């Protein structure tokens, strides 16, 4: 059976648990014919354990996206394994506890800086680390939580996601000439580790029960994974700097 990622080589960050959006991106990507390589943070052993649940084996490389040495050695490690890349998935987000959960007005800049570094600037760092591997063009896909709105509890992750969204547009601008696209999936709430670390995030998710035109299941990250794979494929060849909502349609609702 042929798949929409047949013959493509894809690097996927952010596989931590089976609930990780990135796990589902990796699963669907393999099902659609891609060869997948994973990066791991904080420990490769965790990601290796989860990777065993994928349909096919996937090599795991350690990568803290704020560590310049890790970023510098990434190209060589991926080249040894796959030779080149056709796509990169950025599925990374983090903010310290004092930047979340209702502490917006009192968060120290140090914590804001960490959130920005890990969650937004890293899209640029990761893309540039992988760029030499995408000589024939490529597709970079990241994950946002709609930064047009001020959400309860989300606090400094909101500005971090706004920065991620802008970073994606600037990358799209600067890498178009190399036929490298950069797009984001704006996902609805999902019950991953990252979400559970935000106090009150499940209350926020109740909005989806009331407002989502399409039924939304917080326990099902596969729709987000499918969206990522669609953007990695050749079916969006002239789309870049875009944000595709995989949120059940909540973003269109006025009330
Ligand atoms: N869960 C949701 O409701 C939701 C909704 C919209 C967008 N998102 C976004 O989706 C992405 C993936 O999150 P998830 O929900 O799958 O949660 P997750 O906890 O499974 O994934 C977050 C990942 O970020 C990685 N990470 C954190 N710091 C890192 C660092 N310094 N270097 C490299 N990796 C690092 C973690 O290892 C983890 O794999 C994030 O960008 C998140 O903000 C999540």
Q: Give the residue, 5 or 201, on which the prediction is more confident.
A: 5
**For residue 4, is it within any domain?**
no
H-helix or E-strand spanning residue 59:
strand 59-62
Residue 117 lies in a domain: yes
Mean pLDDT computed over 154-183: 98
CA atoms within a 13 Å half-sphere pointing along the CA-CB vector of 112: 13
- C-alpha 22/C-alpha 15 separation (Å) is 5
pLDDT tens column, 91-123:
999 999 999 999 999 999 999 999 999 999 999
Q: What is the pLDDT of residue 203?
A: 84
Instruction: For residue range 196-225, list pLDDT tens digits in order.
Output: 888 888 888 889 999 999 999 999 999 999
Q: What is the pLDDT of residue 200?
A: 85
Instruction: Indicate which residue's Cα is closest to atom 28 of ligand 1.
Output: 94
Active site residue 154: yes
> Which residues are registered as beta bridge partners of 10?
36, 87
| 110 falls within a domain | yes
pLDDT above 90: residue 232: yes
Number of compact structural domains in the chain: 1
Q: Whose CA is nearest to atom 9 of ligand 1?
A: 143
Q: How many residues does the chain have?
A: 255
Catalytic: 161? yes
Residue 127 has pLDDT above 90, yes or no: yes
Element (H, E) at 116: helix 109-116
Confidence of residue 25 (pLDDT cuts 50, 70, 90): very high
Nearest alpha carbon, ligand 1 atom 17: 194
Residue ranges lining ligand 1, Cβ < 6 Å: 13-14, 16-17, 20-22, 41, 63-66, 91-94, 118, 143-145, 187, 189-190, 192-195
Q: For residue 25, is it within any domain?
A: yes
Tell me the average pLDDT of the chain.
97
Task: Give a yes or no: residue 255 inside a domain.
Answer: no
Closest ligand 1 atom, CA of 22? 16
- Give the CATH number for residue 117: 3.40.50.720
- Is 103 within the bounds of a domain? yes
For residue 150, is pLDDT > 90? yes
Asked if residue 252 is part of any domain, the answer here is no
Catalytic-role residue among 161, 177, 196, 206 = 161
According to the model, what pLDDT value does residue 255 have? 84
Taking only the tens place, the pLDDT of each residue in 57-98 is: 999 999 999 999 999 999 999 999 999 999 999 999 999 999
Does residue 29 lie within any of the structural domains?
Answer: yes
Pocket test for ligand 1, best of 13, 15, 21 (most atoms within 8 A of CB): 21
Residue 228 structural domain: 9-246
Q: Which atom of ligand 1 is nearest to the CA of 194?
A: 19
């Amino acid at each position: 059976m042929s798949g929409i990622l047949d013959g493509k080589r894809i690097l996927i960050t952010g596989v931590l648990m089976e609930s990780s959006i990135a796990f589902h991106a990796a699963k669907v990507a393999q099902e659609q014919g891609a060869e997948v390589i994973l990066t791991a943070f904080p420990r490769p052993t965790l990601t290796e354990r989860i990777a065993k649940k994928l349909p096919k084996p996937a090599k795991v490389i350690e990568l803290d996206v704020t560590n310049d040495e890790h970023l510098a050695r990434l190209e060589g490690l991926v080249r040894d394994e796959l030779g080149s890349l056709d796509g990169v998935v950025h599925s990374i987000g983090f903010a310290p506890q004092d930047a979340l959960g209702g502490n917006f007005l009192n968060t120290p800049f140090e914590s804001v800086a960490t959130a920005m570094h890990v969650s937004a600037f890293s899209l640029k760092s990761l893309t540039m680390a992988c760029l030499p591997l995408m000589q024939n063009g490529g597709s970079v896909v990241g994950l946002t939580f709609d930064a047009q709105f001020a959400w309860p509890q989300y606090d400094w992750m909101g500005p971090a996601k706004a920065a991620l969204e802008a970073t994606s547009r600037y990358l799209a601008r600067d890498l178009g000439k190399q036929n490298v696209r950069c797009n984001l999936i704006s996902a609805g709430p999902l019950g991953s580790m990252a979400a559970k670390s935000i106090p009150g995030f499940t209350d926020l998710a109740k909005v989806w029960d009331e407002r989502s035109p399409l039924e939304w299941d917080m326990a099902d990250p596969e729709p987000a994974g499918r969206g990522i794979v669609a953007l990695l494929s050749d079916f969006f060849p002239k789309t870049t700097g875009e944000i595709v909502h995989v949120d059940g349609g909540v973003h269109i609702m006025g009330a």
